[in-house]
């Protein structure tokens, strides 16, 4: 596996995602306890941690699918949590890929991609069709454009979902366990698409259990447990020389598999 | 406003009409207690015939079901009550209601139960027969209980419809709630008795409506 | 007359049938018009209520649930009688046709709302999230993503319920609407022969057997492929 060396310049630019002091409670349960996360342009940040650690909730806060109880989130300079922000306008700059794909079952692959192009970006039909075709080509599904989700494998469905997000040319992409619902033999195709995106310079935040992918492609790995960010650093350090006891236990457990 | 209260919620008239409304209410309960089991019996027979009889009988049962689902129950009732006497067959109001409900609601219950039996996997019958149960025993102890559970929301919902449908017995002058309310309204020139009857129906059937909503939501969530 | 002959004379009297065929045919026309009006207004109002409920305004939703429960619990004939015989006391008299139309519309509205709502809530939450994450607004998501899926799964129960309620047009005969049953009953009393009633029953079969069969077809046709 190859990946470009993280450019020193990337670290110097201002963060494209800047979340501070995020709190989130679900009833009696506190899922996020003042978490900070900043992501630089062209950076790939990987979030790992045991289930229930709050990593998915953190990710879903970053486009306000979850409403944090406290804190602030800036994406591309826009304060997401401000009442004045047009959240729909902001969201088209933030792509999201879900564990369960969530393709629209009543639309073909191309229609799935076109919907937001037409209705959010207000593109003409021809323009949207072309953009959708390009996005589907990028994920290797040009031939399956007119298939319905039910006619596609899980891996293909997830690639359509990625195309649906990238067609809007987002500034950052969020991946919420994108391969967890897939049969093992289908995981590779999705990871290949993500790797290409990364090489094209897409800023990405990924919640996933694909540790090999994290080691190979991530610029930075964040370890979360019990609603807190316990440590973060380059993959080599987090996987090779974790500082925190919880991290060490987690990595050991993962390695045993 | 006063006019409205006088016409629709008149206390004096309500007091006056109360005894016959109460009788009508009890009559409606009694009618339901008879028509629901009758319809269920018809439904079980139809469902069994249309799922496990020979091919000819299965088709006949399906045609019968469609026939009586297509004829409005009031048409059936009027036919039995006012038409049959011309041929010298007088079944009376009670007979007309009993036969009509057996045919009409039987067809609806039959359709629901047929779907329920169809939803039980074939392996259940095979398993039951393999342990030595007869076909009838297997149907009774293994298939029907599961079938009923699978279509419980539809069964309860159909039962609600049957109880509501007893109101058409007023057309053949059976003194149930709606009939009594109409009588009282005619005698007093005031709509209060009909409003009272509507309230009584609502109070009687609202719990059933809520129950159906809950059962349906559960079924939807379980899919 | 023998038994069969007397039966045929009573129920299949061609002479009587011939005389009253035009009257029954008119009744059939009226039934069709009444049924179509009920279907259009009932389904539209039901959908409107379901969409309103999707907006999630608490007190409004309680009101909607109450109205829906009310018209699910009341027998249609009771509503018709209340509107026809009760409202004139308020100086708000309406024709039997209008009373039947309005009553059955309200009943269909209630049942349809319940079915639409069940359909909307049956669409997985992930569909909302996916659509919202691409920048679609609440109403765009509802209209373009959720409703098309919800409507599809509601088609079978909605068809069956609509058939059952439109058959209630026969109740109009109680308040003097000359639809099929009303026409057949007048013809029966004019001719002192129940053959018009047979004709009426046949008219209902012609009208509703295809619809019942359609309902059955729709049930198998519109199961979601998942």
Rounded to the nearest angstrom, the minimum Cα separation between B20 and chain C is: 17
Q: In what order do the strands lie in the sheet with A203-207?
A: A94-97, A172-176, A203-207, A44-48, A220-225, A228-233
Domain residues for the domain of C158 are: 29-184
| pLDDT at residue C12 in the model | 83
Mean pLDDT, rounded, for B92-105: 92
**Touch B-C: 3+ C-beta pairs under 8 A:** yes
**Which chains does C contact via 3+ CB–CB distances below 8 A?**
A, B
Q: Between residues B61 and C92, which one has the greater pLDDT?
A: B61
pLDDT average, residue stretch B149-175: 91
Whether residues A106 and C152 touch (CB distance < 8 A) is answered with yes
CB of C6 within 8 Å of a chain A CB? The answer is: no
Q: Cβ–Cβ contacts within 10 Å for residue A53, how many?
A: 24
Contact B75/C76, CB-based, under 8 Å?
no
Task: State residue A247's pLDDT score.
Answer: 92
Would you say residue A74 lies in a domain? no
Is residue A199 within 8 A of residue A170, CB to CB? The reply is no
Q: How distant is the Cα of A243 from the closest Cα of chain C, in angstroms?
A: 36
Whether A2 shows a pLDDT value over 50: the answer reads no
User: The domain containing residue A150 runs over which residues?
Assistant: 103-169
Look at residue A182 and tell me if it is in a domain: no
pLDDT at B221 over 80: no
Given an 8 Å threshold on Cβ–Cβ distance, is B170 in contact with C77?
yes
Please report, in angstroms and rounded to a whole number, the separation of the first and last CA atoms in chain C: 64
Name chain A's partners: 3 or more CB pairs within 8 A.
C
State whether B178 and C75 contact (CB < 8 Å).
yes
pLDDT(B214) > 90: no
Chain C residue numbers with beta carbons less than 8 Å from the beta carbon of B74 are 170-171, 173-174, 181
Touching B (3+ Cβ pairs <8 A), the chains are: C
Q: For residue C72, with 0-12 CB atoms within 10 Å meaning exposed, 13-18 middle and 19 or more buried, which class applies?
A: buried
Mean pLDDT, range B159-177, rounded to an integer:
91
Give residue C10's pLDDT: 79
In a domain, A54, yes or no: no
Number of domains forming the structure of chain C: 1
Q: Do C148 and A106 touch (CB under 8 A)?
A: yes
The pLDDT of residue A257 is 61
B121-142 mean pLDDT: 83
User: Chain B interface, mutation test: which of C27, C89, C175, C179, most B Cβ atoms within 10 Å?
Assistant: C89
* pLDDT tier, C2 (very low <50, low <70, confident <90, very high otherwise): low
8 Å CB contact between B168 and C77: yes
When pLDDT is averaged across residues A208-213 and rounded to a whole number, the result is 90
pLDDT at residue C7, as a whole number: 76
List the structure tokens of C75. 């027998």
Whole-angstrom distance, CA of residue C133 vs CA of residue B94: 63
As a whole number, mean pLDDT of residues A50-70 equals: 92
Residue predicted with more confidence, C11 or B169: B169
* Residues in chain A within 8 Å Cβ distance of C134: 91-92, 95-96, 115-116, 120, 164-165, 168
Of chain B, the percentage scoring pLDDT greater than 90 comes to: 43
**A132 occurs within a structural domain:** yes
Q: What is the pLDDT of residue C217?
A: 80
Q: How confident is the model at residue A13 (pLDDT cuts 50, 70, 90)?
A: low
A171 in contact with C at a CB cutoff of 8 Å? no
**Is residue A130 assigned to a domain?**
yes
Q: Give the closest-approach CA distance of C159 to chain A in angstroms.
A: 20
Q: What is the 3-state secondary structure (H, E, C) of B84-131?
A: HHHHCCCCHHHHHHHHHHHHHHHHHHHHHHHHHHHCCCHHHHHHHHHC
The structural domain count of chain A equals 1
Is A243 in contact with A231 (CB distance < 8 Å)? yes
Selected residue with higher pLDDT from B47 and B88? B47
The answer to whether residue A4 scores a pLDDT higher than 70 is no
Beta bridge partners of A221: A46, A233
pLDDT in tens, C71-98: 999 999 999 999 998 877 667 778 999 9
- A1 confidence band (pLDDT: 50, 70, 90): very low
Mean residue pLDDT across chain A? 90
Q: What is the pLDDT of residue A9?
A: 45
C134-169 core/surface letters (b: 16 or more CB in 10 A; e: else): bbbbeebbbebbbbebbbbbbbbbbbbbbbbbbbbb
| B-C Cβ pairs (cutoff 8 Å, strict) | 146
Q: What is the pLDDT of residues C122-148, one digit of tens each?
A: 899 999 999 999 999 999 999 999 999
Instruction: State the fold for domain B2-221.
Output: MetI-like fold (1.10.3720)
Biggest CA–CA distance in chain C, Å, is 81
Alpha-carbon separation of residue A90 from A23, A93, A127, A242 (angstroms): 21, 6, 22, 36
How much is the pLDDT for A55?
Answer: 94
Ranking B32-41, C24-33, C87-96, C205-214 by mean pLDDT, the lowest is C87-96
**Other beta carbons within 10 Å of C100:** 31
Can you give the pLDDT at residue A46?
A: 95
Residue A156 covered by a domain:
yes
Q: Name residues 138-157 of chain C within 8 A of A (Cβ).
A: 140, 144-145, 148-149, 152
Please judge whether B83 and C197 are an interchain contact, meaning their C-beta atoms are less than 8 angstroms apart. yes
> What mean pLDDT is predicted for residues C164-191?
89
* CA–CA distance, A36 with A23 (Å, rounded to integer): 10
Q: What is the mean pLDDT of residues C159-171?
A: 88
Average pLDDT score, chain C? 88
Local confidence band at B14 (pLDDT 50, 70, 90 cut-offs):
confident
Hey, are the CB atoms on C167 and B72 less than 8 Å from each other? Answer: yes
Q: Which residues of C touch A88 (CB under 8 A)?
A: 132, 135-137
B25 within 8 A of B90, measured Cβ to Cβ: no
Residue A52 lies in a domain: no
Q: CB distance B71–C204 less than 8 Å?
A: yes
Q: How far is CA A106 from CA A95, C119, C150, in A?
A: 21, 14, 10
CATH number of the domain where residue C56 is located: 1.10.3720.10
Residue A181: pLDDT over 80: yes
- B152-165 vs B92-118: helix crossing angle, rounded to 10: 170
């Amino acid at each position: 596996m190859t990946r470009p060396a993280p450019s020193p310049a990337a670290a110097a630019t201002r963060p494209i995602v800047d979340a501070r002091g995020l709190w989130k409670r679900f009833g009696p349960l506190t899922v996020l306890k003042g978490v900070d996360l900043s992501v630089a342009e062209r950076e790939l940040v990987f979030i790992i941690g045991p289930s229930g650690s709050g990593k998915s909730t953190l990710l879903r806060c970053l486009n306000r699918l979850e409403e944090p109880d406290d804190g602030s989130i800036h994406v591309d300079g826009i304060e997401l949590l401000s009442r004045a922000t047009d959240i729909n306008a902001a969201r088209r700059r933030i792509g999201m890929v879900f564990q369960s794909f969530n393709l629209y079952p009543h639309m073909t692959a191309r229609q799935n991609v076109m919907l937001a192009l037409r209705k959010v970006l207000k593109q003409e039909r021809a323009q949207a069709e072309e953009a959708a075709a390009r996005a589907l080509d990028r994920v290797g599904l040009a031939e399956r454009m007119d298939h319905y989700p039910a006619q596609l494998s899980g891996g293909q469905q997830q690639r359509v979902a990625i195309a649906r997000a990238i067609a809007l040319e987002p500034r950052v992409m969020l991946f919420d366990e994108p391969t967890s619902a897939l049969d093992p033999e289908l995981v590779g195709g999705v990871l290949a698409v993500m790797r290409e995106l990364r090489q094209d310079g897409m800023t990405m935040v990924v919640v996933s259990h694909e540790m090999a992918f994290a080691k190979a492609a991530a610029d930075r790995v964040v370890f979360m447990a019990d609603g807190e960010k316990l440590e973060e650093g380059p993959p080599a350090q987090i996987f090779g020389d974790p500082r925190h006891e919880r991290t060490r236990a987690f990595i050991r457990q993962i390695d045993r598999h | 406003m006063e006019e409205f209260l006088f016409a629709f919620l008149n206390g004096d008239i309500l007091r006056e009409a109360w005894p016959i409304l109460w009788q009508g209410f009890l009559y409606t309960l009694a009618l339901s207690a008879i028509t629901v089991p009758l319809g269920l019996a018809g439904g079980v027979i139809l469902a069994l015939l249309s799922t496990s009889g020979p091919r000819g009988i299965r088709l006949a049962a399906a045609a019968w079901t469609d026939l009586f689902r297509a004829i409005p129950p009031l048409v059936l009732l009027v036919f039995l009550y006012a038409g049959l006497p011309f041929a010298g067959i007088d079944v009376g109001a009670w007979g007309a209601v009993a036969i009509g409900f057996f045919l009409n609601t039987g067809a609806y219950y039959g359709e629901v139960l047929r779907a329920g039996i169809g939803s039980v996997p074939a392996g259940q019958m095979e398993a039951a027969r393999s342990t030595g149960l007869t076909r009838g025993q297997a149907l009774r102890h293994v298939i029907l209980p599961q079938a009923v559970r699978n279509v419980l929301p539809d069964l309860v919902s159909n039962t609600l419809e049957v109880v509501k449908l007893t109101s058409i017995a007023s057309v053949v002058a059976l003194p149930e709630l709606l009939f009594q309310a109409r009588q009282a309204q005619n005698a007093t020139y005031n709509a209060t008795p009909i409003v009272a009857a509507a309230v009584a129906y609502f109070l009687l059937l609202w719990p059933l409506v809520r129950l159906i909503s809950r059962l349906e939501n559960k079924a939807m969530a379980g899919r | 007359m023998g038994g069969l002959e007397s039966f045929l004379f009573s129920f299949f009297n061609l002479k009587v049938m011939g005389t009253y065929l035009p009257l029954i045919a008119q009744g059939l026309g009226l039934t069709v018009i009444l049924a179509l009006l009920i279907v259009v207004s009932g389904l539209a109002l039901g959908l409107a209520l379901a969409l309103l409920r999707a907006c999630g305004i608490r007190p409004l939703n309680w009101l909607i649930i109450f109205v829906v429960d009310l018209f699910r619990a009341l027998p249609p004939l009771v509503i018709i009688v209340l509107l026809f015989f009760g409202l004139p006391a308020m100086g708000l008299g309406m024709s039997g046709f209008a009373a039947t139309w309005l009553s059955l519309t309200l009943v269909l509205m209630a049942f349809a709302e319940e079915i639409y709502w069940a359909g909307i809530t049956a669409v997985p939450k992930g569909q909302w999230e996916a659509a919202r994450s691409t920048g679609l607004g609440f109403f765009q998501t509802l209209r373009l993503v959720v409703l098309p899926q919800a409507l599809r799964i509601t088609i079978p129960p909605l068809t069956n319920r609509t058939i059952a309620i439109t058959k209630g047009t026969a109740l109009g005969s109680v308040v003097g609407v000359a639809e099929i049953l009303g026409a057949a009953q007048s013809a029966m009393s004019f001719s002192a022969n129940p053959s018009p009633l047979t004709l009426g029953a046949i008219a209902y079969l012609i009208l509703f057997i295809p619809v019942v069969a359609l309902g059955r077809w729709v049930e198998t046709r519109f199961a979601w492929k998942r």
